C-alpha cells in the first residue's frame, strides 16, 4: 500500500496518511517518510487513552487520496462508527479516494470457512458489500514459508508476539488454507470483472436473465451458514439475493430471544448485501413460494432438515414438499451443521432472567393450596386438581410461559404433598395417583402453552393492526395539513403515538444546519451531541443513532427524510428501550413513516417554492415599472421647481411681481405634488412589504369625509361638491387614517380627470351589512373592459389633456386598504358620462350606545 501510495504521490496525487500501523517495524516507518500524516485522535475509554483515526480531521483535510490501514479495525467505544470500514464508507461518500489493507480472514462471507479451517474465530469482520465497492483489489501474496520467515524475523509482529502468532494462528497449515481463500476470493472478483466487461462490450451470453436467490432461514445457527453460502453463490452468479424468515402464527410464541436472533441474522444478511423480509403465514411452503414467484426468484436455498426421519414421516418434510411444488425454481439443500460453531455476528446480551413472575407463580400456587385446605375431605380430590389447573391457567394468562411451567410442576408437587395420602409426604399409597399426576401435569403444561400462544398471537395481530392504522392515520393527517408547520406537528404527533416515545423533526436552515422544528414532549431539548447525530444523518442520508451501526450511543434514532430532491430533514425518535426499533418490521415502519413525511414535506415545499418564484417574478416586474415611473414622474415636478427657482434667482429682480408670484405658486404646487407622489410610493412599499393591518375603531364616515375634503382643499380649488351623506349614518369599524387616504386618492383622481366646472359627488349609504361610499365625477370615465385594470399598479388612464401626473399607484393602494378591511372597491362607468368608484366596508354589530348622562355631568 505504501509503495503504491509513493508512486501515486510521485505522479502528483495529493496523498495523506490517515492511519498506518507500523507495528514498530523500522522498515514500514521508513516508508512513511515524506508523507503528510493526520495526527490521531485520542479517545478516552475506561481511563485509557486510545489513539484512533480522526475521521473529522480527514473529512476536513479532504485529500485526493487517503491511506487507512487495517480496514477490519474496531473503533474505540464512543467513536462515531463502530467499525473502521464505516469510516471508510463515509470518506468515500465525501469523494475521498482511500487505500486500505485487509487480511483475508476478516472477510465476512469467509468467516465461517476460516473458523472451520483454523479453529480460530475471527471477531473483526468486514462486510463483503464494502469489498464489492472497491475499484481495485490487489492481492499481496507471499508463499507461507516466506511469511513464516518474515514472522520469525520480526517483520510482522515484534518479539514474543510473533512467537505466539506462529504457534496459534499462523501455523503453516492455516496459512496455506488462508492463502488459498485469498486467491480464490480475488479470482472470483476477476471473474466478475471479466463478466461485466463482456457485458459492457455487448457480448451477451448466459447472463440475459439476472439470477435471483432466495434463502429461507429457520433459526439462527443454521441460518448463519445458509446466509454465508448464499452470499458466496450470489457473488459467483452476480445475482440479487433475498433472505426471508417465515413466522408461523403458531410460532409467535417462540421465545423473544430467538426472534431477536433472527432479527440479528437478517440485519447481518443486509450487511452482506441481501434484501430481507419477515413473512408470516400458516403454510411455510406457500408463503415462501409466493414470495419467490413475486420476485422472479430462480433458486431457493434451504437448510438440510435436522428432524429425525420418523418425525418427518408423520409431519411431512418441508424440503420434499418444496422441491415438489417449486417446479420452475431450483431448490438447493445446504448442510448447515458444519458451521454450528460459527460465531454470532453481533451477539446481544440476553435479557436478564426475571425472577419476579416466577416467584409470583409460586405464591399463587401456595395461596391456592391454602385456600383449598378447608375443602379437603368435602370435595373429591379430582376437583382439587381442577382448582390447581385453574390457577395454572391464570398464571399462563397473566405471567407468561415460564411461570406457567413452574406453576404446573409446583401444583402437581403441592397436590401430592398436601392432599394425596399419605399426606405431608411425596410418597403415594395408591399408584392410581401416578396417572392423575401425569395427566394433571400434561394438561397444565398444554393449557399454559396454548394460553400463552393465544395471548401472543393476539398481541402480534394487535401490533400489526396498530401499525397499519398508524400509517393510515399519518397519510390522512398529512394530506389535510394546511401549512408546513401543521404538517410537522401532525407528523411528530403521529410518530409519538406510533412508536410510543418522544419524537422530533429537524429541518435545515439556509446554511444547512439542522435545528429542531417541533418542541420536545419531555422538557429537555436535544443537546449538541444529539444534534450532531441528526446532522450526520442529514448529511449522509443514512439512519444513525440508537439501534444502528452509526453512533449507537445516541439517545435517539435518526431517520433521514429523503426524497428525490435530496434530504429535506431528519426524523428523530427516542425509544425508552433500544430494542423497540430493532425488528425489521419496526425499522421498516420508521422508514415508511419518514418517507411519507418527506413526501408531504416535499409537496408543501414545492408549493411554497412555486409561490415564491411567482412572487419574486411579480416583484421584479413591479420594481422595473417602478423605476421607470419614478424616474419620469419625480423628475417632472422637480424640473418645474428647478426651472422656476433658478429663473427667480437669476432674473427675479427683472420680473414683474405678478410673474414672480406665479412662478412661486407653481413651485408650491409642484412641491405638493411631489409630496403626494412620495406619500403614495411609501404607502405602496408598506402594502408590498407585508400588507396593512388596519387599526380598527368605531368611526363616523361623515367625519372622515370631512377630514379628507379638508386635505384636498388646494386641489379642489373651489370646485363644486355634491355631498350626499345622511345625518343618521351609524358608526362603522375601520381605520380612519387609512380610509381617509382612500377618500383623498379618490377625490384627487376625480379632480385630475374631471373638468373644473363639473361637480364631484360623494354619496354614503348603509345596507344591513355594509357601509357604501361612492365618489362620482364627470371626467373621462372608465372605458368598458378597464374596470379592473384601473386598479393595477402603475396603470394610468390615457390623459384627456396633457399629463395628469401621478404614478398610477393611488387606486391600487386604495384597493389594498379596502381589502385589508375585508371590503371591496370597484370602478364603473357612470350613467351620463364620468367615472364612479364605490367602496364597501363590512358593518359588523353596532357598538353599545353612548350614554347621554356622563359621569360627573354638571
Partner 1 sequence: MSEAPAHEHPRRVLVIEDEPEIVRFLRAALTSAGYALQVAATARDGLREAASQPPDFVIVDLGLPDLDGVEVIRRLREWSRVPVIVLSARGAERDKIAALDAGADDYLTKPFAVGELLARLRVAERHARADGRAGDTPVTIGELAIDPGRRRVTLAGAAIHLTPIEFKLLMVLARHPGRVVTHQQLLREVWGPAHTRETHYLRVHMGNLRQKLEPEPSRPRYLLTEPGVGYRLREE
The residue from 727, 785, 798, 802 that contacts partner 1 (CB under 8 A) is: 727
Minimum distance from CB of 775 to partner 1 (Å)? 13
The rounded distance, in Å, linking the Cα atoms of 32 and 17 is 8
Site map (CB under 8 A) of partner 1, residues 296-315, x = contact: --------------------
Minimum distance from CB of 671 to partner 1 (Å)? 7
Q: Does 690 bind partner 1 (CB under 8 A)?
A: no
Q: Does 679 bind partner 1 (CB under 8 A)?
A: yes
Dihedral over Cα of 23, 24, 27, 29: its sign:
positive
The residue from 195, 484, 702, 770 that contacts partner 1 (CB under 8 A) is: 702
Site map (CB under 8 A) of partner 1, residues 512-551, x = contact: ----------------------------------------
Residue of 259, 282, 127 whose CA lies nearest to 583:
259
Minimum distance from CB of 701 to partner 1 (Å)? 9
What does 56-95 look like in DSSP terms, one character per residue? HHHHHH--SEEEE--TTPBPPTTSSBSBHHHHHHHHHHTT
What backbone phi and psi angles, to 5 degrees, belong to 505? -115, 140
Q: Does 821 bind partner 1 (CB under 8 A)?
A: no
Minimum distance from CB of 767 to partner 1 (Å)? 20
Enumerate the H helices of 295-355 as residue ranges.
Answer: 309-315, 318-326
Q: How many CB atoms lie within 10 A of CB 571?
A: 27
Minimum distance from CB of 841 to partner 1 (Å)? 15
Cβ-based nearer residue to partner 1, 336 or 709: 709
Minimum distance from CB of 821 to partner 1 (Å)? 15
Q: Does 725 bind partner 1 (CB under 8 A)?
A: yes
Q: Does 731 bind partner 1 (CB under 8 A)?
A: yes
The residue from 272, 297, 736, 814 that contacts partner 1 (CB under 8 A) is: 736
Cβ-based nearer residue to partner 1, 261 or 733: 733
Minimum distance from CB of 705 to partner 1 (Å)? 5
Contact 641, 671 (CB under 8 A): yes
Residue of 23, 26, 24, 30 whose CA lies nearest to 2:
30
The rounded distance, in Å, linking the Cα atoms of 172 and 155 is 17
- Using the rule CB under 8 A, give the single segment among 220-228, 279-287, 297-305, 724-732 that binds partner 1: 724-732
- Using the rule CB under 8 A, give the single segment among 105-113, 312-320, 525-533, 735-743 that binds partner 1: 735-743
Minimum distance from CB of 675 to partner 1 (Å)? 6
The rounded distance, in Å, linking the Cα atoms of 776 and 763 is 8
The residue from 21, 335, 703, 803 that contacts partner 1 (CB under 8 A) is: 703
Q: Does 818 bind partner 1 (CB under 8 A)?
A: no
The residue from 29, 682, 720, 756 that contacts partner 1 (CB under 8 A) is: 682
Dihedral of the CA atoms 309, 313, 315, 317 (nearest 10)? Answer: 70
Give the β-pairing of 299-303 and 330-334.
Answer: parallel
The rounded distance, in Å, linking the Cα atoms of 341 and 456 is 31
Cβ-based nearer residue to partner 1, 638 or 668: 668
- The contacts found for 251-257 with CB under 8 angstroms, 24 or more apart, are 252/453, 252/456, 252/457, 252/459, 252/460, 253/401, 253/449, 253/452, 253/453, 253/456, 253/457, 256/351, 257/350, 257/351
Q: For the segment 630-669, give every residue that binds partner 1 (CB under 8 A).
A: 668
The rounded distance, in Å, linking the Cα atoms of 65 and 17 is 8
Q: Does 675 bind partner 1 (CB under 8 A)?
A: yes
- Using the rule CB under 8 A, give the single segment among 188-196, 251-259, 444-452, 732-740 that binds partner 1: 732-740
**Contact residues for 621 (Cβ-Cβ < 8 A; gap 6+):** none
Cβ-based nearer residue to partner 1, 556 or 637: 637
- For the record, the C-alpha cell of 38 comes out as 493526520
Largest Cα span, the chain: 151
Residue 33 CB-density burial (10 A; 0-12 exposed, 13-18 middle, 19+ buried): exposed
Q: Please tell me the number of Cα atoms within 13 Å of 771 on its side-chain side.
A: 25
Minimum distance from CB of 726 to partner 1 (Å)? 10
**Contact residues for 17 (Cβ-Cβ < 8 A; gap 6+):** 32, 35, 36, 37, 38, 66, 67
Minimum distance from CB of 636 to partner 1 (Å)? 18
Q: Please tell me the number of Cα atoms within 13 Å of 437 on its side-chain side.
A: 18
The residue from 700, 772, 819, 824 that contacts partner 1 (CB under 8 A) is: 700
Minimum distance from CB of 487 to partner 1 (Å)? 38
Residue 56 CB-density burial (10 A; 0-12 exposed, 13-18 middle, 19+ buried): exposed
The rounded distance, in Å, linking the Cα atoms of 366 and 510 is 68
**Contact residues for 22 (Cβ-Cβ < 8 A; gap 6+):** 28, 29, 32
Cβ-based nearer residue to partner 1, 346 or 721: 721
Number of residues that bind partner 1 (CB under 8 A): 39
Phi-psi region of 22 (alpha: psi -120 to 50; beta: other; left: phi over 0): alpha
- For the record, the C-alpha cell of 122 comes out as 475471527
Cβ-based nearer residue to partner 1, 147 or 817: 817
Minimum distance from CB of 791 to partner 1 (Å)? 22
Minimum distance from CB of 836 to partner 1 (Å)? 18
Cα separation values, 583 from 127, 257, 267, 291, 699, Å: 20, 12, 9, 20, 68
The residue from 9, 249, 343, 706 that contacts partner 1 (CB under 8 A) is: 706
Q: Does 820 bind partner 1 (CB under 8 A)?
A: no
- For the record, the C-alpha cell of 76 comes out as 474505540
- Using the rule CB under 8 A, give the single segment among 156-164, 207-215, 706-714, 812-820 that binds partner 1: 706-714
Q: Does 740 bind partner 1 (CB under 8 A)?
A: yes
Minimum distance from CB of 805 to partner 1 (Å)? 17
- Using the rule CB under 8 A, give the single segment among 62-70, 220-228, 675-683, 788-796 that binds partner 1: 675-683
> What single-letter DSSP state applies at residue 428?
-
Minimum distance from CB of 852 to partner 1 (Å)? 6
Q: Does 51 bind partner 1 (CB under 8 A)?
A: no
Q: For the segment 757-796, give every residue that binds partner 1 (CB under 8 A).
A: 762
The rounded distance, in Å, linking the Cα atoms of 572 and 544 is 10
Residue 612's SS3 state is helix
The residue from 56, 145, 697, 803 that contacts partner 1 (CB under 8 A) is: 697
Strand runs (DSSP E) across 413-543, as ranges?
502-508, 514-516
- Using the rule CB under 8 A, give the single segment among 272-280, 588-596, 718-726, 779-787 that binds partner 1: 718-726
- For the record, the C-alpha cell of 223 comes out as 441460518
Residue of 17, 19, 28 whose CA lies nearest to 65:
17
Q: For the segment 243-282, give every residue that binds partner 1 (CB under 8 A).
A: none
Q: Does 721 bind partner 1 (CB under 8 A)?
A: yes
Cβ-based nearer residue to partner 1, 528 or 853: 853
Q: Does 855 bind partner 1 (CB under 8 A)?
A: yes
Contact 334, 302 (CB under 8 A): yes
Site map (CB under 8 A) of partner 1, residues 833-852, x = contact: --------------xxxxxx
Cβ-based nearer residue to partner 1, 293 or 695: 695
- For the record, the C-alpha cell of 757 comes out as 366646472
Cβ-based nearer residue to partner 1, 98 or 721: 721
Q: Does 854 bind partner 1 (CB under 8 A)?
A: yes
Binding region for partner 1 (CB under 8 A): 668, 671, 675, 679, 682, 695, 697-700, 702-707, 709-710, 721, 723, 725, 727, 731, 736-737, 740, 762, 847-858
Amino acid at each position: 500500500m505504501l509503495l503504491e501510495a509513493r508512486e501515486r504521490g510521485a505522479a502528483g496525487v495529493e496523498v495523506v496518511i490517515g492511519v498506518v500501523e507500523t507495528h514498530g517495524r523500522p522498515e514500514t516507518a521508513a516508508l512513511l517518510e515524506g508523507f503528510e500524516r493526520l495526527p490521531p485522535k485520542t479517545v478516552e475509554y475506561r481511563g485509557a487513552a486510545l489513539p484512533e483515526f480522526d475521521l473529522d480531521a480527514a473529512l476536513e483535510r479532504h485529500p485526493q487520496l487517503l491511506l487507512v490501514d487495517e480496514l477490519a479495525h474496531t473503533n474505540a467505544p464512543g467513536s462515531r462508527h463502530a467499525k473502521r470500514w464505516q469510516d471508510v464508507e463515509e470518506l468515500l461518500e465525501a469523494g475521498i479516494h482511500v487505500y486500505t489493507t485487509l487480511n483475508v480472514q476478516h472477510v465476512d462471507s469467509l468467516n465461517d470457512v476460516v473458523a472451520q479451517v483454523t479453529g480460530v474465530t475471527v471477531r473483526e469482520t468486514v462486510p463483503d458489500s464494502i469489498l464489492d465497492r472497491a475499484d481495485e483489489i490487489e492481492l499481496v501474496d507471499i508463499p507461507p514459508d516466506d511469511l513464516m520467515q518474515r514472522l520469525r524475523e520480526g517483520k510482522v509482529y515484534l518479539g514474543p508476539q510473533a512467537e505466539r502468532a506462529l504457534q496459534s494462528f499462523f501455523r503453516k497449515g492455516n496459512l496455506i488454507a488462508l492463502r488459498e481463500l485469498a486467491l480464490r476470493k480475488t479470482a472470483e472478483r476477476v471473474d466478475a470483472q471479466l463478466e461485466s466487461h463482456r457485458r459492457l462490450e455487448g457480448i451477451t451470453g448466459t447472463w440475459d436473465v439476472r439470477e435471483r436467490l432466495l434463502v429461507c432461514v429457520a433459526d439462527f445457527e443454521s441460518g448463519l451458514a445458509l446466509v454465508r453460502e448464499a452470499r458466496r453463490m450470489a457473488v459467483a452468479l452476480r445475482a440479487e439475493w433475498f433472505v426471508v424468515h417465515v413466522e408461523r402464527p403458531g410460532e409467535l410464541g417462540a421465545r423473544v430471544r430467538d426472534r431477536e436472533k433472527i432479527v440479528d441474522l437478517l440485519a447481518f444478511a443486509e450487511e452482506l448485501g441481501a434484501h430481507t423480509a419477515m413473512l408470516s403465514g400458516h403454510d411455510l411452503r406457500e408463503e415462501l413460494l409466493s414470495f419467490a414467484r413475486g420476485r422472479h426468484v430462480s433458486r431457493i436455498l434451504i437448510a438440510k432438515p435436522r428432524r429425525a426421519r420418523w418425525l418427518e414421516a408423520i409431519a411431512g418434510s418441508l424440503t420434499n414438499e418444496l422441491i415438489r411444488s417449486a417446479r420452475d425454481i431450483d431448490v438447493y439443500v445446504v448442510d448447515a451443521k458444519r458451521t454450528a460453531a460459527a460465531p454470532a455476528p453481533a451477539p446481544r446480551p440476553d435479557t436478564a432472567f426475571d425472577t419476579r413472575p416466577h416467584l409470583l407463580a409460586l405464591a399463587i400456587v401456595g395461596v391456592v393450596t391454602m385456600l383449598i385446605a378447608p375443602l379437603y375431605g368435602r370435595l373429591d380430590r379430582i376437583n382439587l386438581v381442577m382448582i390447581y389447573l385453574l390457577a395454572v391457567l391464570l398464571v399462563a394468562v397473566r405471567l407468561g410461559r415460564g411461570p406457567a411451567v413452574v406453576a404446573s410442576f409446583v401444583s402437581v408437587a403441592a397436590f401430592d404433598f398436601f392432599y394425596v395420602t399419605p399426606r405431608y409426604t411425596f410418597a403415594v399409597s395408591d399408584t392410581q395417583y401416578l396417572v392423575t399426576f401425569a395427566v394433571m401435569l400434561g394438561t397444565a403444561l398444554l393449557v399454559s402453552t396454548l394460553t400463552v400462544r393465544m395471548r401472543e398471537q393476539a398481541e402480534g395481530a394487535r401490533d400489526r393492526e396498530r401499525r397499519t392504522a398508524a400509517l393510515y392515520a399519518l397519510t390522512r393527517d398529512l394530506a389535510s395539513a394546511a401549512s408546513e408547520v401543521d404538517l410537522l406537528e401532525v407528523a411528530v404527533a403521529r410518530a409519538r403515538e406510533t412508536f410510543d416515545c418522544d419524537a422530533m423533526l429537524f429541518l435545515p436552515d439556509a446554511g444547512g444546519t439542522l435545528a429542531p422544528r417541533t418542541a420536545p414532549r419531555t422538557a429537555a431539548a436535544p443537546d449538541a451531541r444529539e444534534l450532531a447525530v441528526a446532522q450526520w444523518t442529514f448529511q449522509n442520508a443514512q439512519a444513525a443513532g440508537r439501534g444502528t451501526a452509526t453512533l449507537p450511543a445516541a439517545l435517539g434514532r435518526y431517520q433521514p427524510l429523503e426524497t428525490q430532491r435530496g434530504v429535506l430533514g431528519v426524523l428523530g425518535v427516542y425509544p425508552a428501550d433500544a430494542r423497540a426499533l430493532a425488528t425489521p418490521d419496526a425499522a421498516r415502519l420508521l422508514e415508511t413513516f419518514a418517507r411519507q413525511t418527506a413526501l408531504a414535506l416535499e409537496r408543501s415545499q414545492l408549493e411554497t417554492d412555486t409561490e415564491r418564484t411567482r412572487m419574486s417574478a411579480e416583484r421584479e416586474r413591479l420594481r422595473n415599472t417602478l423605476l421607470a415611473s419614478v424616474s419620469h414622474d419625480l423628475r417632472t415636478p422637480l424640473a418645474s421647481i428647478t426651472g422656476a427657482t433658478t429663473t427667480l434667482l437669476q432674473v427675479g429682480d427683472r420680473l414683474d411681481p405678478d410673474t414672480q408670484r406665479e412662478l412661486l405658486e407653481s413651485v408650491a404646487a409642484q412641491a405638493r405634488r411631489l409630496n403626494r407622489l412620495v406619500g403614495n410610493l411609501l404607502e405602496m412599499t408598506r402594502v408590498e412589504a407585508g400588507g396593512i393591518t388596519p387599526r380598527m375603531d368605531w368611526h363616523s364616515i361623515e367625519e372622515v369625509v370631512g377630514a379628507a375634503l379638508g386635505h384636498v382643499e388646494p386641489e379642489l380649488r373651489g370646485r363644486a361638491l355634491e355631498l350626499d351623506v345622511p345625518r343618521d349614518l351609524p358608526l362603522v369599524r375601520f381605520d380612519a387614517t387609512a380610509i381617509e387616504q382612500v377618500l383623498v386618492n379618490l377625490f384627487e383622481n376625480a379632480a385630475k380627470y374631471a373638468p373644473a366646472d363639473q361637480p364631484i359627488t360623494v354619496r354614503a349609504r348603509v345596507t344591513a351589512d355594509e357601509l357604501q361610499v361612492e365618489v362620482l365625477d364627470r371626467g373621462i370615465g372608465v372605458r368598458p373592459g378597464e374596470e379592473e385594470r384601473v386598479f393595477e399598479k402603475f396603470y394610468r388612464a390615457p390623459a384627456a389633456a396633457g399629463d395628469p401626473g401621478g404614478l398610477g399607484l393611488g387606486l391600487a393602494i386604495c384597493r389594498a386598504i379596502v381589502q385589508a378591511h375585508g371590503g371591496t372597491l370597484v370602478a364603473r362607468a357612470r350613467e351620463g358620462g364620468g367615472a364612479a368608484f364605490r367602496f364597501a366596508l363590512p358593518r359588523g354589530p353596532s357598538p353599545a350606545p353612548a350614554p347621554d348622562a356622563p359621569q360627573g355631568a354638571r
